[in-house]
Structure 1
């Protein structure tokens, strides 16, 4: 190979090498993704006043199943199903004829025994008078005293029988044990009822109405303090959210806290009371109780739309102005469109609120101008 050919090969190879490098560089520049336009929010502390929410069940303070205490046929119903009843109001009546007859017989027997007692008393008095004059045998006096004692016991037994039969007679009429609402009658006129077995109806008090919630044992001290604090009709510490998501217009108060914590669930029952003058609350309703959190400390807060959920864990994207970086965070309560950050962020950091769907770790970003309040946000 001559000298000129060698130099030609060298220059040709160098040119190819330079062209190849230039081509690769162009491809790399084309492959680099453009910055993602994003909006950011600077992490700040705010007043973390919010309501804790607990599932709850509405229950009456007093409720009783009405069952007969005597056997017989139902002969009277003296109320309208579902109506308000007053304490002592007559509700049901069971056939009285047999019980009236038994009572009259018991009274007649008592009168007989009382007559026998009078006779025995006179005999005993007479014999004791004769004994003073030594005109009767001592044995006769003893017999008279024994007859008097027996007559006294017979009268006592007859009185007890009258009381027993009278109680049965009184039980043929059933009265309301307290003010409240009575349900739909489970027995109709003419039904044969059995003592202690047949369910006639259920009556429950309805003003005030109790609301039961299960609270975690770690909140027990706080609830005990709230109970001692009490409340007023204007107090908004306890709010009731009805099944239709309406807020019940009357506030509640803690009525009692149960005796012990359930060791299996680590919870304890707290009972609240709410005024129910309009009977809007019904026994058995499910609702939610919102309880004002009394924590005064300021908390780190960011917009909820900055939060990304992945398999039950929560993340945000932060940025230094050039690239996006994913951070795991621990969330607290949600307050309006904000959420409390318990851990994972520091005050002053910038979190990305818009454009997160196009981001991954290290993605270049271009920060847009902050949007004024109420302006529509950019689509993610």
Structure 2
């Protein structure tokens, strides 16, 4: 019993000692790293996803029906305007043309005969040597013969057109694709697709911008004769830079009311055929902003509900917690985080351009941002800031 009593006393003493032990003060200052904002000249590009397109493209459709009897090109190669591409069985159209020519000769002979009869009856009619009815019939026959000749002429033209349509020619210089028909396939007028041809030099590159950026591109279009090195360049799918610069060609007629976007078309020379229709690439528009820019680390910028903020460090006088009643130092200078809304510009690697909201010379928080709120006390003392890996800097 005595032993139990002594153990209880011992445990009580331990608990009392723990309660009397002085607890370390809670540090309310958040360790951070600061970055002093400076203006500097920045070279950067605005980048837009884009797609290559042909300035002209046509789907070849046959104008006559028949079997394909000839293919005269190599698929995927460059063809010249007027080059022979396909031939559809010409025999039936050649026969129709020959028949139309022969029929026209018959009508021309009939016209000669009718003209002779009409002239003869006209002479006899002057002397009342022929019945009036015979003269009238001769005149009507002559008129009919003339109409028949005109009809025969039109039939010859139609037959000639069909005969010409039996051979398909390239409408312009460009690249031809895979043939959709083979030798012997029967094609139908106006419905069977033979092939597709698209222009290949120069090549168009289309991309979409927000309507807020439209005034800038309209100005660039108006000044398109002003030479600017590397104003418009493109990165290909393998991230290589296309070696030729482009120029602005067309701004679409209307803004998409649902998305608030509009399409811009650039034109790039394509002498070596590196660009093909439908390629994905990235348009780079060289910035033309003159003067230095505010460039800050991207990790210092916080996005909240589509708006962007940074925390600046502000010196503030606060009560000195160590000051006694007789102490002369009542106030001490402390750093406080102040949240400021900013307008951001282009992202350049790990950094970001700030258009407005802060000024050159201000100090912003770059490490420890996640722990901050407006008015939070911060410190750059010899402490390890979150993700800093070392002590804070001034």
Same fold (TM over 0.5): yes
The answer to whether the 8 A contact 1:52-1:292 is kept is yes
Q: 2:351 matched to which residue of 1?
A: 338
Q: 2:23 matched to which residue of 1?
A: 27
Q: Across the two proteins, how many residue pairs are aligned to each other?
A: 350
Report how far residue 292 of structure 1 moved: 2.4
Report how far residue 310 of structure 1 moved: 6.6
The answer to whether the 8 A contact 1:238-1:289 is kept is yes
* Alignment of 1:89 onto 2:96: no
1:283 to 277, 289, 299: 277
Q: Distance in 2 between matches of 1:132 and 1:308?
A: 109
Q: Distance in 2 between matches of 1:268 and 1:311?
A: 25
Q: 2:6 matched to which residue of 1?
A: none
1:200 to 194, 198, 211: 194
- Alignment partner of 1:168: what SS? helix
Q: 1:235 matched to which residue of 2?
A: 229
Q: 1:53 matched to which residue of 2?
A: 47
Report how far residue 301 of structure 1 moved: 2.3
Q: Distance in 2 between matches of 1:314 and 1:263?
A: 26
Q: Distance in 1 between matches of 2:169 and 2:39?
A: 62
**Cα distance change of structure 1 residues 182 and 107 upon mapping to structure 2, 3 Å threshold:** same
Instruction: Identify unmatched segments of 5+ residues in structure 2.
Output: 1-15, 316-333
| CA RMSD after TM alignment | 2.9
Q: 1:348 matched to which residue of 2?
A: 361
Report how far residue 289 of structure 1 moved: 1.2
Q: 2:217 matched to which residue of 1?
A: 223
State which drifts further: 354-363 or 279-288. 354-363
> 1:200-230 CA deviation, whole Å, 9 max, x = no partner?
1100000000111222222222222211211
* Alignment of 1:364 onto 2:359: no
**Cα distance change of structure 1 residues 56 and 366 upon mapping to structure 2, 3 Å threshold:** same
* Alignment of 1:325 onto 2:325: no
Matches within 5 A, 1:127-142: 127-142=121-136
Q: 2:324 matched to which residue of 1?
A: none
Q: Distance in 2 between matches of 1:296 and 1:342?
A: 13
State which drifts further: 245-254 or 95-104. 245-254
Report how far residue 314 of structure 1 moved: 4.6
**Cα distance change of structure 1 residues 309 and 262 upon mapping to structure 2, 3 Å threshold:** closer
Report how far residue 240 of structure 1 moved: 1.1
1:180 to 174, 179, 190: 174
TM-score (norm 2): 0.80
Q: Distance in 1 between matches of 2:243 and 2:226?
A: 14
Matches within 5 A, 1:282-321: 282-296=276-290, 298-308=292-302, 314-320=308-314
The answer to whether the 8 A contact 1:49-1:294 is kept is no
